[in-house]
Amino acid sequence: MVDILHKVGVEGSSINDVYAALTTLDGLSGWWTDDTTGDPTVGGVLQFRFEPGGIDMKVLDLQPARRVVWQVVDGPDEWAGTEIVFDLKQDGDDATVLFKHQGWQEPVEFMHHCSTKWGVFLLSLKSLIETGKGAPAPRDIKIDSWN
42, 73, 80, 120: residue in contact with a second copy (rule CB under 8 A)? 120
Q: Please select the residue that binds a second copy; options are 66, 112, 133, 139, rule is CB under 8 A.
A: 112
Q: Exactly one of 76, 85, 96, 130 binds a second copy (CB under 8 A); which one?
A: 96
Chosen residue from 76, 90, 123, 130 binding a second copy by CB under 8 A? 123
DSSP alpha helices (H): ranges in 24-87? Answer: 25-31
Q: Which of 24, 44, 91, 105 binds a second copy (CB under 8 A)?
A: 91
| Longest CA–CA separation in the chain, Å | 40
Determine contact, residues 85/94, Cβ cutoff 8 Å.
no
Residue 3: which of 81, 55, 58, 61 has the closest Cα?
Answer: 81
Nearer to a second copy, 63 or 142 (CB): 142
Instruction: Please give the torsion angle defined by the CA atoms of residues 68, 42, 32 and 82, in that order, rounded to the nearest 10 degrees.
Output: 70
Say whether residue 92 binds a second copy (CB under 8 A).
yes
ω before 138 within 30° of 0 (cis)? yes
- CA 143 to chain centroid: 17
Of the pair 46, 84, the CB lying nearest a second copy is at 84
Looking at the Cβ atoms of 37 and 133, the one nearer to a second copy is 133
Contact residues for a second copy (CB under 8 A)? 2-9, 91-92, 94, 96, 98-100, 107, 109, 111-113, 115-116, 119-120, 122-123, 126, 141, 143-146
